[in-house]
């Protein structure tokens, strides 16, 4: 791979490649963006490019340095991940200690800190001191989904790079070439921006079953059939896969109701559940716009409840009852 192989991040790749070509390398970067947009992959490729024996503006992917970094066994490229729920001061102190040793095989010593916003106060202060007194040539890359949670003094000492959201249609274009069905890719790509995770969903029979259950459940809900309540206990919470990925199940339901809205307003090009237009149209005929908006809000509320560890059976039963109220 190279910097330009990270899906949907051409702007970031151009920025980093230009810095490499002009030898304008910051001693610290913040890679900020939502989960799955390619921050870790870009950090890996940037580390390779910084230490490539062949190229000056990207990774060749074949030299000894690129190969070792790609396999996570290069002594001068270190990854730091949360120890439990946080990154602790001892982990940052180890980086500081490590940085004093002279490197004999690389251009840059690279430290990549994942979920940097989870640093304890002590760890963040220790990193700040490290950034104020950089050991050359060293590059620190902070990966975060919540840049605002980093100390402002840390952000001010780093080059901030924001990663774009991934357009689902970019994934459709990429993955249909590999033989996946366009409608399946489109739906999965609306659940996650991580292309590897999308492929895992497409390969999973459980995901296909979950999609089918969402559609059937919505039909029972809209027809006020008591099976909608029985389904919660019999098919949702007794299914280990769905129970584990319940937030994703709720997201699929939310996308379904968004598609009902698109169908009502004849925005068929925006429909995600391709191939189910007839079912969507049938449900759209019997619900008013304001009621549909209320239902979407109710689903969003349940999504927040599930995230807050509210009893899932009670939350889902209340959802069905509240949708029936309209």
Per the DSSP assignment, residues forming a β-bridge with 114 are none
For residue 55, the model assigns a pLDDT of: 81
Percent of the chain exceeding pLDDT 90 equals: 87
What is the CATH architecture of 204-325?
Up-down Bundle (1.20)
Q: Would you tell me the crossing angle of helices 277-284 and 205-222 to the nearest 10 degrees?
A: 20
pLDDT tens for 265-298 read 999 999 999 999 999 999 999 899 999 999 999 9
Contact 143, 43 (CB under 8 A): yes
Per the DSSP assignment, residues forming a β-bridge with 77 are 110
Q: Is 187 helix (H, G, I), strand (E, B) or coil?
A: helix
The answer on pLDDT for 141 being more than 90 is yes
Alpha-carbon span 215 to 19, nearest angstrom: 49
Q: Is CATH 1.10.287.130 correct for 3-162? A: no
For 132-158, what is the mean pLDDT?
92
- pLDDT-based confidence at 2, cuts 50/70/90? confident
Dihedral, CA of residue 236, residue 238, residue 242 and residue 245, to nearest 10: 110
Which token pair is 226? 């008591």
Which token pair is 212? 């089918």
Q: Do domains 3-162 and 204-325 have the same CATH topology?
A: no
Q: For the chain, which residues make up each domain, given as ranges?
A: 3-162, 204-325
Lowest mean pLDDT among 33-42, 91-100, 303-312: 91-100
pLDDT tens for 174-225 read 999 999 999 999 999 999 999 999 999 999 999 999 999 999 999 999 999 9
Length of the chain: 326
Dihedral, CA of residue 235, residue 241, residue 243 and residue 245, to nearest 10: -130
pTM comes to: 0.83
The average confidence (pLDDT) of the chain is 93
- pLDDT-based confidence at 326, cuts 50/70/90? low
For 70-81, what is the mean pLDDT?
93
pLDDT tens for 125-135 read 999 999 988 77
For residue 104, the model assigns a pLDDT of: 65
Q: Report residue 223: phi and psi, to 5°.
A: -95, 5
């Amino acid at each position: 791979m190279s910097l330009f192989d990270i899906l949907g991040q051409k702007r970031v790749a151009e920025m980093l490649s230009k810095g490499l070509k002009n030898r304008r390398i910051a001693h610290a970067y913040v890679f900020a963006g939502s989960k799955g947009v390619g921050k870790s992959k870009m950090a890996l490729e940037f580390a390779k490019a910084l230490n490539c024996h062949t190229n000056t503006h990207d990774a060749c992917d074949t030299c000894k340095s690129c190969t070792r970094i790609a396999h996570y066994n290069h002594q001068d490229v270190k990854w730091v991940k949360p120890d439990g729920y946080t990154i602790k001061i001892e982990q940052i102190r180890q980086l500081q200690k490590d940085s004093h040793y002279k490197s004999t095989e690389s251009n840059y010593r690279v430290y990549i800190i994942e979920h940097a916003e989870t640093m304890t106060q002590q760890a963040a202060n220790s990193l700040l001191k490290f950034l104020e007194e950089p050991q050359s040539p060293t590059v620190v890359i902070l990966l975060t989904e919540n840049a605002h949670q980093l100390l402002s003094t840390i952000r001010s000492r780093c080059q901030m790079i924001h990663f774009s959201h991934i357009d689902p249609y970019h994934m459709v274009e990429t993955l249909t070439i590999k033989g996946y069905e366009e409608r399946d890719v489109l739906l999965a790509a609306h659940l996650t921006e991580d292309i590897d995770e999308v492929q895992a969903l497409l390969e999973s029979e459980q995901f296909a079953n979950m999609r089918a259950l969402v559609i059937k459940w919505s039909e029972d809900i809209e027809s006020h059939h008591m099976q909608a309540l029985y389904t919660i206990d019999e098919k949702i919470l007794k299914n280990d896969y769905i129970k584990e990925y319940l937030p994703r199940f709720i997201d699929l339901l939310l996308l379904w109701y968004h598609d009902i809205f698109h169908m009502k307003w004849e925005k068929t090009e925006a429909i995600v559940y391709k191939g189910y237009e007839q079912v969507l149209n049938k449900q759209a005929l019997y619900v008013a716009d304001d009621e549909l908006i209320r239902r979407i809000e109710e689903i969003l509320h349940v999504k927040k409840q599930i995230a807050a560890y509210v009893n899932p059976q009670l939350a889902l039963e209340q959802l069905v009852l509240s949708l029936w109220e309209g």
